[in-house]
Amino acid sequence: MAEVKEEEQSGKGGILKIILLSVGAILLVVIGLGIGYFLFGGEPETDPSQEVNQIIEGGDKEKKEEVKDEKKEGEEEGEDGIINKNVKEVPEVDAYETTYFEFPGNFTTNLKNSKKFLQVSVGVSTQYDEKVIEVVDQHQLALRSVILSVISDFGEQDITGSDGKGKLAKQLLESMNKKLDELKEFPGIEGVYFTSFVVQ
């Protein structure tokens, strides 16, 4: 019996020792972290990016002076020694959204006084509301007829170069808006574009 009691007491004492050692170890870790934070922690006085820049630059003052001399127009050196470009702010302007419409398929017609023919793809744009594009789509048949008749009035020499294409686009713009006006619709087409332009 005496031996059993001694074993029970030594077993209780062993568990107590383990608990005390665990609590002591935890206290030592917490105290160590506290001392470490107190000595080395807190807010860094300098920005880490500044320290990296100083390490890269190596503290060479001559190089810094050369960089200052070589600064381009419109650049300033900031407080941290990094060169910042002066960027112009884009003014906010109330701009209208441009809407585009491309007529499906190609337009092919003979050129005036020529055996050659022109094949083009035509698109239009407007900055008015989408109603204009809906009207263009609704009256595609009439506008396609206008496009073909205008193109057939141009000769091979009339459409050469960017000036010739510009004149053709301008004539198409005027003629299509005139047709929309005749149809009692708002003539809101503002631009005509060629997505393909082939003379054969």
Residues near 31 by beta carbon (within 8 Å), at least 6 away in sequence: none
Determine, yes or no, domain membership for 122: yes
Q: What's the domain range around 142?
A: 99-199
Determine, yes or no, domain membership for 178: yes
Q: Does one domain contain both 107 and 186? A: yes
What is the C-alpha separation between 66 and 79, in angstroms, rounded?
A: 18
What is the C-alpha separation between 19 and 96, in angstroms, rounded?
A: 76
Determine, yes or no, domain membership for 69: no
pLDDT digit string (tens) for the chain, length 200 residues:
445 455 555 566 678 888 888 888 888 888 888 787 777 765 555 566 676 666 666 655 555 555 555 555 555 555 666 666 655 565 565 567 889 999 999 999 988 888 888 999 999 999 988 899 999 999 999 999 999 999 989 998 888 888 999 999 999 999 999 999 999 999 999 999 999 999 98
Determine, yes or no, domain membership for 194: yes
Quickly list DSSP for 90-150: PPP--PPPPEEEE-SS-EEEEPBTSS-EEEEEEEEEESS-THHHHHHHHTHHHHHHHHHHH
Q: Does one domain contain both 130 and 51? A: no
Q: Does one domain contain both 57 and 107? A: no
Q: Does one domain contain both 59 and 129? A: no
Q: Does one domain contain both 120 and 185? A: yes
DSSP state of 160: S
Determine, yes or no, domain membership for 14: yes
Determine, yes or no, domain membership for 83: no
Number of domains in the chain: 2
Residues near 86 by beta carbon (within 8 Å), at least 6 away in sequence: 74, 75, 76
The CATH number covering residue 147 comes to: 3.30.479.30
What is the C-alpha separation between 177 and 155, in angstroms, rounded?
A: 23
Determine, yes or no, domain membership for 112: yes
Determine, yes or no, domain membership for 175: yes
Q: 110 — phi, psi (to 5°)?
A: -70, 145
